Amino acid sequence: MTCSRVAFLSLILLTAASATFAQVGTNNGVLNPNLAGAEEMQTVPHIDATIAEAIIAGRPYLTATAFDAALRAASLFDEQRAEVFVTLFVPINLNTASEEEILLVPRAGSKMVHEFDEYRPWDGGMLRFRREIGKYVDDDELAHLEQYVFVPMDLNTASGDDFLTIPGVGSNLVHEFEEYRPWVNMAQFDREIGKYVDDDEVARLARYFVINQ
């Protein structure tokens, strides 16, 4: 086993010890179109002020394909949209993403369509993703791919640290997620969290959760 592989596995073990159920991939700079400001988005290739404002007006994007459709509406060609997705992307749900969504993940390709589907349901969080997908790609590619994916976490068992891995979630929302336990259903989530954020944000956040009975 190479030194780099040992170091990577050690990092996985440390991650597991601190956030066993973490189910959102580590982000190394990919912007989320549901959260990024207009100026941030204009640092992305092919995104000018007009397109950035159109993206903001179309929020929330609950799937990668919905965001792709918005860029198509802005007259970006296939190659241009592919360049955008490298640094501006709506993370996909590993358990439910369609083949079309998976193919939007930069460098995923048909091989990852098969592998992402093969290991469903992804019930071990990012630790399992790293273990299984790490059989097929090297450490750098694994780190690249995990920026674009997530597995919904259980509202009743996820830790505060797990919640904080969700883009846009801070300590105030973590408190509310824990305050209303036990969560019975997502209708309750919509109702209670809707006291603190608007309907669009409730819909965006709901993507990251399940309630296991």
* Geometric angle at alpha carbon 36, from 64 and 12, rounded to 5°: 70
Which distant-in-sequence residues (6+ apart) come within 8 Å of 199 by Cβ?
Answer: none
pLDDT tens-digit profile of 169-207?
999 999 999 999 999 999 999 999 999 999 999 999 999
The CA distance from 128 to 151, in Å, is 11
181 shares its domain with 139? no
Among residues 150, 172, 193, the one where a domain terminates is 150
Among 4-13, 103-112, 143-152, 156-165, the minimum mean pLDDT is found in 4-13
Q: Check pLDDT > 90 for residue 11.
A: no
Q: The domain containing residue 135 runs over which residues?
A: 3-25+91-150
Stated pTM of the model? 0.88
Average pLDDT over residues 122-147: 95
78 lies in the same domain as 109: no
- Map residue 209 onto helix, strand or coil: strand
210 pLDDT higher than 90? yes
> How many independent structural domains does the chain possess?
3
Residues 189 and 142 in one domain: no
pLDDT reported for residue 21: 56
Give dist(CA 59, CA 183) in Å, integer.
Answer: 27
pLDDT > 90 fraction of the chain, expressed in percent and rounded: 87
